[in-house]
Structure 1
């Protein structure tokens, strides 16, 4: 089985699931996001966001291929490029961290170590670029797949709460801890990566 992780670009953006390449929950603030949905411009807005981040900051994601078939992806960026993050009551993301936006892995390929490889690849990339941590907003009342990851799943893979909140705690993962991850975190990663499989409706926080 040949597997490779490739930086996300405009060329391979179409390899993301349709629901993900047309979702702008994180990429736009709530008002612009709702307007993009009503105008049926979400795919164009997503492409414009990817293009802007690539030009100004560099790669903001990885796409996972197995035998040249796309089976997963992860998306991340500095909080300055994530307008939605300012709408959360536990913002802002720390200055030394990058925000984990979302990640997904096809159920058929879970349990094979790919989830761990995905996160470790992101960690190595960000350490090389001078960052110390990844932060994410968790949903403490998570019930179904959505753009905000479940807080308990983030805790299970090593995130620590840095700012508590009854609904949206801000959570942090020190990057160097991921380098030594072993197979015992794979089940937790499967649950985390499987938590964003359904296209969510944009709604105010």
Structure 2
């Protein structure tokens, strides 16, 4: 779904509709439309949501939203919605939300909030799975455990791989989906920025 060398954000929130989540993130309601993801990307720099909108990479972010069960997801292909206050707003009114960030510089983090308050911030670069997971809230710990770790030769024992935050956000929201699964659910897309 992502472009090459991604700089992207994934928001997940329980108990909010996709259109409301997009509005909370600042999307213009009049620009939101339904979409079907294309079969392929025209090049390595174009994300599938960007291709669905027919916009040139880098001219605007493409926000893609959908809902699975109680959870809504919003994928931001350029990371324009990377703001702690966005996660707090998504989690307002007793909801649970998480935002996973992965930058082009390989900075990775996950913010977990409940009821408009930050509960946990995880800097993936400093995450030690053996030491840090036991202190996390049960729901978040279970998500990181379900996400698993993909060890590489660069990682020390106990260190997490850079993509674990994205997988943990997906696990938290029950988004164990293939791209074909995503294509089968109702999706919304909007240019942003």
TM-score normalized by the length of structure 2: 0.29
Structure ranking higher on relative contact order (CA contacts 8 Å, 6+ apart): 2
TM-score normalized by the length of structure 1: 0.28
